Structure formats: structure tokens, C-alpha cells
Chain A
Amino acid sequence: GAGVSQSPSNKVTEKGKDVELRCDPISGHTALYWYRQSLGQGLEFLIYFQGNSAPDKSGLPSDRFSAERTGGSVSTLTIQRTQQEDSAVYLCASSLGVGTQYFGPGTRLTVL
């Protein structure tokens, strides 16, 4: 596609439920990143993929968070047993090797 796409654009869930957020990077981009933007905060790094492997998962806030990438393309971020503090905008970005990161529109997650 022409840009990074993310789905859903909005997700409202109840506390304790699991959610899956999807990211489709720009075609051919080898690197993929997940960030989180909470109200009044900057962007917080979560995880980085190079191909299908994740050399840096240091930003995942707890073991409730996991992510995978398949076929060197689509990535899914899963949050288990969601908590209210998980409410944020989750952003995905992709880049071609060592290059500029291009961001998607984000998924706004609201945990009630």
C-alpha cells in the first residue's frame, strides 16, 4: 500500500478482555516498530522488528503485552487482560533498513 495502515482505528473494550491490534507496513519495509502515545505524553517505544524477529522488546510494559510479525510484513500487537492504564493510541511505523520511520494513523484503545 501507499502508507502504513492500522486496524481497527478505534477499539473500546472492557477491563480484563484481550485485544489485538494490527499493522500493515509499507510494502518492502524490513523494519517495523510499535509505539504508544498516552494522553499528555510523548511517544513511548514498545517493540522493534527486523524481518520477523524482534531484537528489542525492551519497551513492552508488562508480560500482558506481546507482538508478532509474520512473512516480514503484517504485525499484531496483543494485550491480554487489559487494564485502564492501557488506554492510549498505539502507533505503528515502518522503515526501509536504516531509514526514516513512516507512521500509521494509530489505533485508539479505550479500556472501560
Chain B
Amino acid sequence: AQSVSQHNHHVILSEAASLELGCNYSYGGTVNLFWYVQYPGQHLQLLLKYFSGDPLVKGIKGFEAEFIKSKFSFNLRKPSVQWSDTAEYFCAVRTNFGNEKLTFGTGTRLTIIP
């Protein structure tokens, strides 16, 4: 069965620092990849997604992610974080296209210090 690993459980950064959150998945076939964000007290929202085409995808709020097939990775990046980026970030993969269910990582809690 497929799995998703997010090795950073809690990341603490100062405002304006650059961010990279790791996401690796285990599945050899075609995948769709997602990053979701959960701000404090809010529900999960889609940040960005990769289905096909350009492996560098851009999402909302200045976030981007790069799909590297050879590394089974889909890392999330932002060049300069803001205090409002404090949230929990979840990477997810969809592999079974007859099912559409998402397999999630355990999440990375991001704390931005003003």
C-alpha cells in the first residue's frame, strides 16, 4: 500500500526566512499529489496540487512545490514566510484512480516567529 512521509514534525522559523517542507511517497505508478493547509481553528484547505505537466506547481499565498519523480518527492517551498503562515501542512497522494481516496502524511506543524 502507498504511504506518505513528512519527516519534519515541527518547524519553527522567523518571519522572512525561506521554507522547505519535505514530502516523500512510496508508490511506483502514476500519482496525483497535494498539499493541504490547516490554519488554527480552520478546516483543511487546498494549497496546491500536481496532476501532470510542469513538475513545478504554484499555489496560493506564494507557495510552490516541485514533483521529482526519481526521488518520489513533492517538497513544499516558500521563499519568505509570514507570521500568517503559521499552520499545519499535510502532504497527500492519490494513486488509485478508480477510488480517488487520498493518503495523507502525518503533517508538519509550522510556527512562524514575528
Contacts and interface: CB of A to CB of B under 8 A. Distances in A.
Given A56-B99, A98-B97, A42 B43 contact: no
Nearest to B101: A45
Interface in B69-108: 90, 92, 97-107
Q: How large is the interface on B (under 10, 10 to 19, 20 to 34, 35 or more residues)?
A: 20 to 34
Given A45-B103, A55-B99, A56-B101, A105 B4 contact: no
Nearest to A46: B101
Contacts, number: 51
Interface of chain B: mostly helix, strand, loop or mixed: loop
B113 interface: no
A62 interface: no
A103 interface: yes
Given A33-B101, A41-B106, 6 more contacts: A42-B107, A43-B90, A48-B99, A91-B43, A98-B100, A103-B44
Interface of B: 4, 6, 34, 36, 42-46, 49, 90, 92, 97-107
